[in-house]
Chains A and B, each alone.
Chain A
Amino acid sequence: MKIRLPKETWLLIILAIVAVLIGIRSSIFFSAENLLDLIKGSTVIGICALGMTFVAMTGGIDISVSAVIAGVASIIGNYMFRSGNSFFNNVIIVFIISAISGAVFGAINGILIGKLKIPSIVATLGTLAIFKGVLFLITKGYWVNRADLPEWLKSLSLLTVFGIPIQIVIFFILIIICWLIMKYTTFGRIVYAIGGNSVSAIRIGINVDRVILYVYILMGILSGIAAFVHTTIMVGVDPNSFTGFEFKVIGAVFIGGVAITGGRGSVFGAVIGVLLLAVISNGMIIARIPIFWHQIVTGTVILLAISFDVVQRKRFESRLTKIDVAE
């Protein structure tokens, strides 16, 4: 008996089962403090995953995200440091700077991939190297310390709305926005179309180049906001701390069921993917599993989750009538 449920529902069930298992093993897990901490910790990856969902939906990938975040974080870190006590050093302006710097980085990617048609893996590989290089050249790897940062940042990092940390609130708002864009705007529908079949999309009259540019700009903006959120959590900027980040984001997004070929997937799937990984990490720590098992478990989970998805989809597709040549 095959239960045909949307992919996201399956993921939620798995998430729930894992959470319950961990909760049984250790009572700390379900405490509000732990749960909030867990979600707060995954907001940065989560926001990037939102952007990556759009990118992956067009069939692309963005490996440069770690450099973009590090770059934006350094930019706002230095800005806050330099502008000291001036009026211009406040939340709104810094937030806008994050978004805009992110957008600029994203636009560079978007032009290379959209207009110049360089494959996304290679283009973002190149921009990763370039952004990282420029970043380290300018910052020389220096931190921006807690002491050098303005007071409002420190209060912001602790701010809670009805007991929920502000970072989670921001994340939640962004999830809703992205979901709305994906589901209800023309732009969102076009993104699906491009991923599904980009040639057909061109034939319908969609300006694929322009849309891809926008998708990467969106990714950049979200990465910028993620950098902002990260800075509010850490109250400090360490350009080195983002190595290997891109793979975490990609892993989370693809567990969530966005197909690598594009055209399929959802924002919620990505979010659940992020949460699932976070819960498993957190659970392992709580269950006192030695740290070197963590990666093994994470890697295996990603592998199994993706296998599960692919196998299920193949079985489903094998039941459809075939009019095309396929393996």
Chain B
Amino acid sequence: MKNKFTGFFKNQEIVLLLIFVVIFVILGFLRPQEFLGKYNLQSMASQFPELGIISLGMMVVILSGGIDLSIVSVSTLAGVTGAWIMTKWGPPVETGIEGLDRSTGSGALSGPVVIIIAIVAIFAVALICGFINGFFIVKVGITPILVTLATMTLFEGVSLYFTKGGSIAGLPPQFIKIANTNILNVPLLFIIFIVVAIIVGIFLERSSWGRSIYMLGSNPIASLFSGINTKRLTMSVYLFSAAMAAIAAIIISARYNSAKIGTGSSYILQSITIVVLGGTAISGGYGKVTGTVIALLIMQVLKSGLNIVGISQYITDIAAGVILIIVLISNLYIERTRVLKT
């Protein structure tokens, strides 16, 4: 009887799901009209995709035993590049900001064309950044924390060069529609996120690439001697997180109709929190996409829900930190009891 009970809680994903349900129910109970209303659900569903995709990228990197502090800077840089292209060569758009009529868009290229070019550029820039990260980690051999710390500053610096501290606004209307479309009342962004999450999950669990990443994370040396090309694998991991950053960049610039430094600045720490909360070991080798997604949902309902109830945003931050620590402590406790049993 005791075993069944504690056995049920052994699975961290279940615990997380429970926490999510509890929070959701409490908030729904406290403010049913607002919290459970269509507007709020839709708004929540379009807010978390950007953070979610970044968290997925971060998760894969952490699974491999590394970390990518620069993911948000890559996303910003990619977004800035895309926005710059769209405003430079796209159709002129009124920004609605006084005195800032973005008719600098030379209209040389039509809307859809410039969007496609911009998207290609976003991915290109992001992948180059990912390559730089990978190069210093794999070829030079510096630990990921230090490399991504430095590249984080570097990439942000390059973005600064483009934006000069301001923001690039006035993106083509077709592009912005990405952020506003709903398919059957479900925001397109949400669908994109679900699709990406499913793909990532499948790749991690079922493909050899995914399995190799888990192996790399739990024991790099054994992986090397098992014949895995660890150098190529590590590089691919950082390219992957860069690709995630690119997708996030598209989402962020579509949502905010602009690109500037600072939009995602809190996302690095938040995404690491989400990944760890979701059950991924910080040293790598263990973690599930479902866990990360549930953790993401928990953070999102906390943010939106507490906001609706009127609790200061700072309490949300505190709550996130406290939840993180509690989950970690209980994790370690569960680990210890599991080891003792064997």
Contact = CB atoms under 8 A, between A and B. Distances in A.
A137 B321 CA distance: 14
Interface of B is mostly: helix
Interface residues of B, number: 48
A118 B282 CA distance: 10
A294 B146 contact: no
Given A61-B145, A303-B150, A118 B329 contact: yes
Given A112-B325, A129-B324, A136 B314 contact: yes
A135 to B, nearest CB: 8
A212 to B, nearest CB: 15
B141 A314 contact: yes
A123 interface: yes
The residue among B136, B146, B164 with the most chain A CB atoms within 10 A of its own CB is B146
Interface string A286-327: 000000111111111011001100110010000000000111
A129 B273 contact: yes
Interface stretch (A15-23, A68-76, A247-255): A247-255
Interface string B133-168: 000100011110111011111111110110011000
A150 interface: no
Contacts of B157: 292-299
Contact of A311 (B140, B265, B272): B140
A84 interface: no
Interface of B: 67, 136, 140-143, 145-147, 149-158, 160-161, 164-165, 221, 224-225, 265, 269, 272-273, 276, 282-283, 312, 314-322, 324-325, 328-329, 332
Contacts of B221: 325-327
A254 B146 contact: yes
A64 to B, nearest CB: 10
B180 to A, nearest CB: 31
Interface of A is mostly: helix
A130 B325 CA distance: 10
Q: Which 6 A-B pairs have the closest CB atoms?
A: A299-B154, A295-B157, A129-B321, A133-B318, A296-B157, A299-B153
B313 to A, nearest CB: 8
B154 A122 contact: no
Contacts of A254: 146, 149
Nearest to A137: B314
